[in-house]
């Protein structure tokens, strides 16, 4: 059975009182009168039910006032309060100290007009301006409003409990978990950095020792060669001096008789031969390098603060083949489907002639020439099934369908190729097949001019795909070819 309004009020009072007794109150001052009267509570908070229903004295006063007002109420027809269900003043909540009357009909305002949201009398509802409107007895309206307020208070009380629980339990628990997670993350960072630092220091020490050994080896070879050829030079000079002395001081009969004794010395001098430069006298180029050091270096350059290189890396519009379309920001190349030959010829003719443009192969070059320092850039190859990325000389041929204008098929270009699921490095028409475990969606390039090194890298797997060592004799330009989907320079 649904609770009546008085029952709900009593239940709400009980809940509110229990909540008020559990909370901490502000301090209150108690004054004890001289005549031994009861202490007066000052500053104590008044429970919410007092504001909702008022004190008992107010209710008694209101009942009297209601009684006096009932005598002045004009009788109404079917809409008079006498026809409504009996609702006590205490239940309805009408505790006004004054009787409000209608100015026009001088009757008690004991009805509520829901259309105009105002208090009216019974005559206003029957024959007055609110005739035909949605009207309700004031007592019923007060009961509905009071129920609505009680419901709102109960909801706010439940909401307050949830907030208290969130403040007292959830947030402290989250804070504790935060501290644990942050501490664990810090320990993990420190542990990984320490492990990387230890590995790097060990690799550094090993490579430095290898460089030292290589330096000592070359120095020893140089010393050996210097001693050998110095001795040979002295011996040759001595033999030559003897031969010159014989030629200038011996008489003919004596010269003829002594030739035999110089023959062996001359043959020995001629047998020494002439010195020549050998690889043993050169410092080994690969000394001081390792896969670990190369990978760490590439990772630091391509995924560190300098990742994706300079914002000036763009494609040069003048070099873009008619088979490709260039985005407005000059960073994306998209392959244009091959058309019939006569249509393609017309397309070529529609473009202005430019000696820098590739007219037959789907190639394009970057706008930044590199001839010093270290440069990095990353290309998004997406799901393209056919592309080439790399570098070439600015002097590379641009016209015609021959190999001199084809990336990777001449001595002026170095590219990483992907075609039909196969990855390879291509230079001068020679392919080196690469083992790629995970198909990269991005390819990073690192060009270190001082060490004449070109490196292809996968940012997703942190794997070095291939490394090329020059020498490079002229400035290099980024080079791209694509015959499926698109390739984008990232920044």
Task: List domains and CATH numbers for the chain.
Answer: 144-279 (no CATH), 293-489 (2.60.120.920)
Q: Does residue 392 surpass a pLDDT of 50?
A: yes
d(CA 81, CA 74): 10
d(CA 295, CA 290): 8
Are 105 and 74 in contact by the 8 Å Cβ rule? The answer is yes
When pLDDT is cut at 50, 70 and 90, the band that residue 11 belongs to is low
What pLDDT, on a 0 to 100 scale, did the predictor assign at position 268?
74
When pLDDT is cut at 50, 70 and 90, the band that residue 66 belongs to is very low
What pLDDT, on a 0 to 100 scale, did the predictor assign at position 10?
57
The number of angstroms, rounded, from the C-alpha of 192 to the middle of its chain's C-alpha atoms is 21
Handedness of CA 200, 203, 209, 211 (dihedral sign): negative
d(CA 202, CA 185): 25
Our separate counts of H helices and E strands in the chain read: 10, 18
For residues 31-54, average pLDDT: 39
When pLDDT is cut at 50, 70 and 90, the band that residue 50 belongs to is very low
Q: Determine which helix (DSSP H) or strand (DSSP E) holds 378, and give its type and residue range.
A: strand 374-380
What pLDDT, on a 0 to 100 scale, did the predictor assign at position 484?
92
Strands 422-427 and 430-433: antiparallel
What pLDDT, on a 0 to 100 scale, did the predictor assign at position 48?
37
Are 421 and 387 in contact by the 8 Å Cβ rule? The answer is no
d(CA 362, CA 465): 24
What pLDDT, on a 0 to 100 scale, did the predictor assign at position 89?
42
Q: What percent of the chain has pLDDT over 70?
A: 75
CA-wise closest residue to 391 among 358, 418, 371, 365: 365
What pLDDT, on a 0 to 100 scale, did the predictor assign at position 41?
33
User: Where does 299-362 show beta strands of DSSP type E?
Assistant: 324-326, 332-335
What pLDDT, on a 0 to 100 scale, did the predictor assign at position 118?
92
Q: Which distant-in-sequence residues (6+ apart) come within 8 Å of 113 by Cβ?
A: 119, 120, 124, 125, 130, 133, 134, 135
pTM: 0.59
What pLDDT, on a 0 to 100 scale, did the predictor assign at position 311?
67
What pLDDT, on a 0 to 100 scale, did the predictor assign at position 43?
36
- ∠ Cα 66 67 69 (to 5°): 65
What pLDDT, on a 0 to 100 scale, did the predictor assign at position 276?
82
Which residue has 């004991």 as its token pair? 110
Pure H helices in 310-395: 341-350
d(CA 189, CA 194): 8
Burial (CB count <10 Å: 0-12, 13-18, 19+), residue 235: middle
Question: Which of the pair, 317 or 15, is modelled with greater confidence?
Answer: 317
Give the pair of three-digit tokens for residue 207.
Answer: 């490579």
For residues 385-406, average pLDDT: 93
What pLDDT, on a 0 to 100 scale, did the predictor assign at position 84?
40
What pLDDT, on a 0 to 100 scale, did the predictor assign at position 434?
93
Q: Does residue 87 surpass a pLDDT of 90?
A: no
Q: Does residue 257 surpass a pLDDT of 90?
A: no
Range with the poorest average pLDDT among 15-29, 91-105, 363-377: 15-29
When pLDDT is cut at 50, 70 and 90, the band that residue 96 belongs to is very low
For the chain, what is the mean pLDDT?
79
d(CA 305, CA 296): 14
For residues 380-401, average pLDDT: 93
For residues 276-288, average pLDDT: 82
d(CA 184, CA 170): 21
What pLDDT, on a 0 to 100 scale, did the predictor assign at position 309?
56
SS3 of residue 122 by DSSP: helix
Q: Does residue 182 surpass a pLDDT of 90?
A: yes
Tallying the residues shown for the chain, one arrives at 491
CA-wise closest residue to 413 among 422, 423, 403, 421: 403
What pLDDT, on a 0 to 100 scale, did the predictor assign at position 8?
56
């Amino acid at each position: 059975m649904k609770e009546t309004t008085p029952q709900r009020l009593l239940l709400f009072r009980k809940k509110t009182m229990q909540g008020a007794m559990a909370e901490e109150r502000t301090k209150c001052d108690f004054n004890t009168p001289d005549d031994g009267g009861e202490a007066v509570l000052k500053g104590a908070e008044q429970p919410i039910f007092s504001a909702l229903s008022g004190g008992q004295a107010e209710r008694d006063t209101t009942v009297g006032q209601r009684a006096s007002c009932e005598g002045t109420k004009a009788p109404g027809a079917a809409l008079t309060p006498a026809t409504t269900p009996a609702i006590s003043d205490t239940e309805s909540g009408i505790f006004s100290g004054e009787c409000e009357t209608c100015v026009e009909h001088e009757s008690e305002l004991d009805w509520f007009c829901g259309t105009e949201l105002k208090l009216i009398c019974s005559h206003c509802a029957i024959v007055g301006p609110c005739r035909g409107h949605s009207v309700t007895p004031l007592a019923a309206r007060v009961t509905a409003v009071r129920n609505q307020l009680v419901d709102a208070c109960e909801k706010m009380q439940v909401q307050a409990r949830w907030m208290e629980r969130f403040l007292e339990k959830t947030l402290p628990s989250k804070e504790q978990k935060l501290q644990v997670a942050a501490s664990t993350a810090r320990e993990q960072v420190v542990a990984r950095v320490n492990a990387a630092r230890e590995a790097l220091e060990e690799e550094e020490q090993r490579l430095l020792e290898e460089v030292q050994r290589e330096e000592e080896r070359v120095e020893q070879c140089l010393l050996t060669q210097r001693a050998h050829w110095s001795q040979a030079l002295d011996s040759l000079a001595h033999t030559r001096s003897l031969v010159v002395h014989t030629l200038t001081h011996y008489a003919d009969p004596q010269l003829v008789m002594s030739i035999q004794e110089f023959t062996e010395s001359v043959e020995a001098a001629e047998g020494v031969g002439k010195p020549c430069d050998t690889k043993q006298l050169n410092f080994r180029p690969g000394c001081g390098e390792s896969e670990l050091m190369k990978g760490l270096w590439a990772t630091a350059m391509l995924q560190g603060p300098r990742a994706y290189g300079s914002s000036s890396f763009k494609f040069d519009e003048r070099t873009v083949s008619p088979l490709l379309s260039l985005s407005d920001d000059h960073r994306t190349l998209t392959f244009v489907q091959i058309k019939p030959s006569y249509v393609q010829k017309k397309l070529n003719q529609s473009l202005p002639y430019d000696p820098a443009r590739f007219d037959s192969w789907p190639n394009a070059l970057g706008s930044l020439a590199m001839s010093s320092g270290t440069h990095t850039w990353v290309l998004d190859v997406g799901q393209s099934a056919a592309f080439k990325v790399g570098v070439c000389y600015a002097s590379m041929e641009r016209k015609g369908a021959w190999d001199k204008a084809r990336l990777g098929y001449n001595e002026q270009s170095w590219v990483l190729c992907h075609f039909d699921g196969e990855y390879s490095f291509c230079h001068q028409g020679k392919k080196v097949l690469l083992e790629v475990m995970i198909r990269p969606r991005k390819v990073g390039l690192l060009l270190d001019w001082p060490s004449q090194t070109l490196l292809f890298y996968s940012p997703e797997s942190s794997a070095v795909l291939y490394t090329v060592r020059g020498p490079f004799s002229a400035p290099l330009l980024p080079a791209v070819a694509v015959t499926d989907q698109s390739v984008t320079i990232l920044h």
